[in-house]
């Protein structure tokens, strides 16, 4: 076969090759990639249709195909159920339908139709656009009057380029004016709500931030109020502590002081007798004393013991006499008749002998 005939055959096999087309769609939308052919009328049973996605410069992957009167579209798990042919693909419309677009669906697609040795190709570039994610707004700097502040806004994802725009929100729900990225010498005039809008080809999202400018005077007043409050709190705590200490001290003093013991029973009566009284009086006194003691012991031994421990001992008294110079005279050597003549004065002095008798 000559070279001329080979070229002729190649020309006959290639029916048409269309130029490349580009489509742009937003993620999660649906799209139809067109592919029309004229080969279905030649030999319907030998018709083959295939859609390919370019994954690299040299590699392609099949996304859907028709061959032998059967459709195959389960080549990829992430694309299963989302890729299908147009209903008229045998009649000449082999367009590819994709639902719920994902960013991974973007790329260059090739539609290849073959029948009876003839081929048709269609090349389409699909771009899946992502609208900006909801941005985050925040403030950097000191919001005090006269200070410097910067409003920041950023969207974490979205198809580049993403443009950001700040607008001030009025009370009437309108938007007026603009705030530059950096505002110097803050005043109350710039206080209010500001909205940042991030947008690209796919759409837009926004966030808001509240700018509240603090007066320098207000800051001093707040600082003074806080300081005064802290001082007052310290004084209250100190007063409470001192009061508690005084109460503790008083309680300790009361615990250390011995309890006063009082005897409700009437103390026994007593009388003083002279040592020189008659023997019958002494015997009578001793007999009465013994009787009284016996009765008291049988009535309340514990009460008498308590009284003895708590009440100081009282020494019994006796009559003694002193001479004119104040010296005590032994009773055994005293002549009472002569003492009276000399003007001696009888006095009572404590004595250690038993002269205190109970009756």
State the pLDDT at residue 85. 94
CB 153 within 8 A of CB 137: yes
State the pLDDT at residue 242. 87
Is the pLDDT score of 340 beyond 60? Answer: no
CB 350 within 8 A of CB 315: yes
Mean pLDDT (the chain, rounded) = 74
CB 148 within 8 A of CB 180: no
> Is-above-0.75 flag for pTM?
no
Name the residue with higher pLDDT: 106 or 245: 106
Find, among 115, 154, 124, 136, the residue nearest to 37 by Cα.
115
15 φψ region: left (φ > 0), alpha (ψ -120 to 50), beta (else):
alpha
Highest mean pLDDT among 42-46, 257-261, 331-335: 42-46
State the pLDDT at residue 312. 46
β-strand 96-98 against 83-85: which pairing, if any? antiparallel
Q: Can you tell me the distance from the alpha carbon of 345 to that of 310, in angstroms, rounded to the nearest whole number?
A: 36
Give the chain's domains with CATH numbers: 18-129 (2.60.40.10), 136-211 (2.60.40.10)
Task: Give tens-digit pLDDT for 169-209.
Answer: 876 666 666 665 555 677 888 888 899 999 999 999 999 99
What interhelical angle do 301-310 and 279-299 show, nearest 10?
Answer: 110
249: confidence class by pLDDT, cuts 50, 70, 90: confident
State the pLDDT at residue 358. 43
State the pLDDT at residue 10. 35
H or E element in which residue 195 lies: strand 192-199
302: confidence class by pLDDT, cuts 50, 70, 90: very low
């Amino acid at each position: 076969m000559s070279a001329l005939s080979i070229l002729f055959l190649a020309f006959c096999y290639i029916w048409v090759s269309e130029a490349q087309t580009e489509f742009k769609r937003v993620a999660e939308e649906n799209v139809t990639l067109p592919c029309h052919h004229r080969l279905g009328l030649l030999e319907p049973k030998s018709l083959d249709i295939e859609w390919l996605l370019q994954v690299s410069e040299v590699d392609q992957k099949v996304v859907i195909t028709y061959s032998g009167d059967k459709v195959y579209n389960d080549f990829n798990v992430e694309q299963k159920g989302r890729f299908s042919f147009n209903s008229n693909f045998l009649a000449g419309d082999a367009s590819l339908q994709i639902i719920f677009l994902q960013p991974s669906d973007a790329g260059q697609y090739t539609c290849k139709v073959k029948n009876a040795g003839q081929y048709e190709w269609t090349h389409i570039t699909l771009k899946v656009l992502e609208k900006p994610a909801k941005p985050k707004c925040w403030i950097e700097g000191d919001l005090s009057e006269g200070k410097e502040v910067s409003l920041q806004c950023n969207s974490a994802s979205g198809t580049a380029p993403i443009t950001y725009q700040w607008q001030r929100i009025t009370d009437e729900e309108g938007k007026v004016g603009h705030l530059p990225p950096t505002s110097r010498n803050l005043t109350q005039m710039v206080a209010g709500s500001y909205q940042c809008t991030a947008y690209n080809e796919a759409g837009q999202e926004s966030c808001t931030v509240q700018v509240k400018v603090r007066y320098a005077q207000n800051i001093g007043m707040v600082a003074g109020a806080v300081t005064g409050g802290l001082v007052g709190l310290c004084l209250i705590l100190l007063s409470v502590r001192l009061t508690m200490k005084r109460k503790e001290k008083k309680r300790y003093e009361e615990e250390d002081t011995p309890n006063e013991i009082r005897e409700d029973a009437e103390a026994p009566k007593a009388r003083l007798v002279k040592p020189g009284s008659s023997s019958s009086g002494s015997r009578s006194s001793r007999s009465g004393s013994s009787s009284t003691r016996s009765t008291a012991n049988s009535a309340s031994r514990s009460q008498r013991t308590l009284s003895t421990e708590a009440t100081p001992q009282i020494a019994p008294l006796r009559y003694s006499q002193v001479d004119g110079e104040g010296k005590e005279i032994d009773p055994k050597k005293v002549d009472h008749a002569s003492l009276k003549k000399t003007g001696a004065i009888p006095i009572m002095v404590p004595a250690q002998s038993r002269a205190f008798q109970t009756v």
